[in-house]
Structure 1
Amino acid sequence: MHQADFRFGCPLRVRWSEADPQGIVFNGHYLNYADVGVTEYYRALRAAEPARMQLTGEEFFAVKTLLEYRAPAMFDDLLDVQLRLSRFGNSSMSFTLGIFRAGQLLVTGEIVYVHADQQTRQPLPIPQDFKAAVRAFEQLTPEETANPG
């Protein structure tokens, strides 16, 4: 995995409170970094509008996260959180994550979201206009993000 594999990334500086006494980032903070990346991805896509979700009563809920640690980030490192959509299902979607420091891959991951009703938490189909916006942003064809099988 390389930074060139991604169309979207956002910078993030490691803060003092995220590191242990040796200056190494505590592993749980990488989930926060991934979440910041997803929020910024939506913002770049112009889909990060909380009022829109409140009006429709729909939301994307994280149902799975997988992180693989390759090398540690340190206090004050400037990280690049990279994301790309890797799959659309009917009501779910998956992102591939890469966290880099100066081109070095530190963490890889996958995040799966399910589109659901905010009250009942029952899955709902992902709107086609959202899928089309993501595919245009990522410059992907429907076949490249199709649910396998």
Structure 2
Amino acid sequence: MNKTDFRFSTPLRVRWSEADPQGIVFNGHYLNYADVGVTEYYRELRADAGVQPGEGLDGSEFFAARTLLDYKASALFDDLLDIRLRIARFGNSSMSFVVGIYRGDTLLVSGEIVYVHANQQTRRPEPIPESFKAAVRRFETRPPEEAGAAVQG
């Protein structure tokens, strides 16, 4: 995983409350860092695509269904982290973010977060709107893989 695999990044400074007495970030905070990245990703996607929050989702929402983090090195108190994300895959009702958390050029944590698109009332999965997929395709420099799409070699 290279930093160049991502169009989107956002900085995040490690706070004292996130580190143990030796100054090492507690592992649970990396999921919070990834979540900050997802929020900022959506904010930039909206700005880039001119999409307003919730637009085109019509009573639906994305819910986290799976997270996977692979720890490679530790962040330390006061490190300036570079949180990088991209939507790497679309299914019918799910999508996968790839996450890279860096300190400079050093990859500290890699991971994946899978979200399911669902009706807000019933919490039942629904297809991801094409308008949302189109906005992501325009935003990303590396297009997401799509279920049912032909693989080009």
TM-score, scaled relative to structure 1? 0.91
- Mapped to 2, the partners of 1:15 and 1:85 lie a distance apart of 27
Query: Could you tell me which residue of structure 1 aligns to residue 136 of structure 2?
Result: 134
Q: 1:120 aligns with which of 103, 119, 122?
A: 122
Whole-angstrom distance in 2 between the partners of 1:14 and 1:133: 31
Count of residues in correspondence between the two structures: 144
Residue 84 of structure 1 pairs with residue 86 of structure 2: yes
- Tell me by how many angstroms 1:148 deviates: 6.4
Q: Which amino acid aligns with 1:26?
A: F
Tell me, yes or no, if the aligned pair for 2:24 and 2:75 is still in contact at 8 Å: yes
The CA deviation string for residues 14-55 of structure 1, in whole angstroms up to 9 with x for no partner, is 000000110000000001000000000000000572xx37x8
CA contact (8 A) 1:59 1:115 kept: yes
Partner of 1:25: 25
- Structure 2 residue identity aligned to 1:32: N
**Alignment partner, residue 74 of structure 1:** 76
Correspondence for 1:58: 60
User: Residue 5 of structure 2 contacts residue 142 of structure 2 at CA under 8 Å; is this kept in 1?
Assistant: no
TM-score (norm 2): 0.89
Aligned-pair CA distance for 1:136: 0.5
- In the other structure, the counterpart of 1:146 is 146
2:8 maps to 8
Write the letter of the residue equivalent to 1:29: H
* Gapped regions of structure 1 (runs ≥ 5): none
Give the aligned partner of residue 42 of structure 2. Answer: 42
Secondary structure of 1:72's aligned partner: coil
Q: Any idea what the Cα deviations from partners look like across 1:56-105, whole Å, max 9, x if unmatched?
A: 32110000000000000000000000001110001000011000001100
CA RMSD of aligned residues (A): 1.7
CA 138–108 in structure 1, closer or farther in 2 if over 3 Å, else same: same
1:75–1:148 Cα change, 3 Å: farther
Which 4+ residue blocks in structure 1 deviate beyond 6 angstroms? none
What is the aligned-residue identity percentage? 69
